[in-house]
Amino acid sequence: MRKFLLGLVLLDQVIKYATWSLGWVTINKGIAFGLFPSETSLTVILVVLVFTSLLMKLKLAKNSYKINQAAMLMVAGGLSNMLDRVFYGGVIDYLHLPFVPSFNLADLAITSGFLLVIFNLFT
């Protein structure tokens, strides 16, 4: 699991670096979809609190393998986006589609993990 987490973070960071050098990125200073862009330090604090609590829950819920995997996606995505906030002052987004706000691999991991947790809680 740890290798997967680190691999996802590393892959997202490598893609961000490559697209940054090509000039294909936007910097999202908000939380989700650009909300609260002027609250960068508050965002970092909230992300640390949320992901610390998720990691603690993972330690307690060792028997729930599917939820642990989904939560690991959220942790990896959050960690990668947090690195961006610390080093660049905002999240680097490199996927630009016409009908949705810009996003990145970490955002996909967070969203997928969240949806998987919800699905597993209700099935």
Catalytic residues: 93, 107
**DSSP notation for 32-56:** STT-STT-HHHHHHHHHHHHHHHHH
Report the run of H or E that residue 89 belongs to, with start and end: none
Q: Rounded distance, CA 34 to CA 111, Å?
A: 15
The residue length of the chain stands at 123
Angle at 25 between CA 116 and CA 100, to 5 degrees: 45
Q: Rounded distance, CA 48 to CA 58, Å?
A: 15
